[in-house]
Amino acid sequence: MNMKTTTYKLLFCIAGLLMFAGCEKPYDYDKEIGAPSYSAEKLAASINGKWVMNEAKHIDEKSLTKESIDITDFFTSDGAKSPNISFSSVGNTFTVDTVGLVTNFFSVATGKWKFDDDRYPTKIDLTDTNGNAVGSILIGSNLLGLTPKLNFSYGASCSGSVVMSYNVLFSKSN
């Protein structure tokens, strides 16, 4: 055997060993890593408390660029109380403190709520005390995060098409 053949055989063996070592499973997927940091119960409990309007926008839905104007001051001017909604996971109820409000976005003072999906919620569906749909509030950011946000939108229609809408952002106050 010549030196060249021996070198090739040695390189072939090293490459085979490296390939075999590279095929080793990097993580044991059957291994239990612990309980998840969230659960349906934690998510439901995170909604508890009072949520206060942080920002309100009026959006022109017929505009090509969906022009908007900040109307937050309209709802809080002249000492008016900021629009709010309070949730309770006990009985899945909500209340809106309507005293001193310029407008009640939800059109009811009390009702029931539920997540669209208990495990991975994207919105909160609201119903009145008779079970009639009131609307939905989108979850704007992680409910278990440091700054959870809720986003409520509703529109005004003319001849069957939405011409303007309101987008109201709520932040948790307690």
Could you tell me which residue, 112 or 5, shows the higher pLDDT? Answer: 112
Residue 34: what pLDDT?
A: 67
**133-152 confidence digits (pLDDT tens):** 988 999 987 888 888 899 99
Sketch the domain layout of the chain as residue ranges.
Answer: 40-172
> Average pLDDT, stretch 121-129?
92
Tell me the pLDDT band of 163, cut-offs 50, 70 and 90: confident
- For the chain, the three-class secondary structure string (H helix, E strand, C coil) is CCHHHHHHHHHHHHHHHHHHHHCCCCCCCCCCCCCCCCCHHHHHHHCCEEEEEEEEEEEECCCCCCCEEECHHHHHHHHCCCCEEEEECCCCEEECCCCCCCCCCCCCCEEEEEECCCCCCCEEEEECCCCCEEEEEEECCCCCCCCCEEEEEEEEEECCEEEEEEEEEEEECC
Average pLDDT, the chain: 83
| CATH code of the region 40-172 | 2.40.128
**67-86 confidence digits (pLDDT tens):** 999 988 887 777 667 888 99
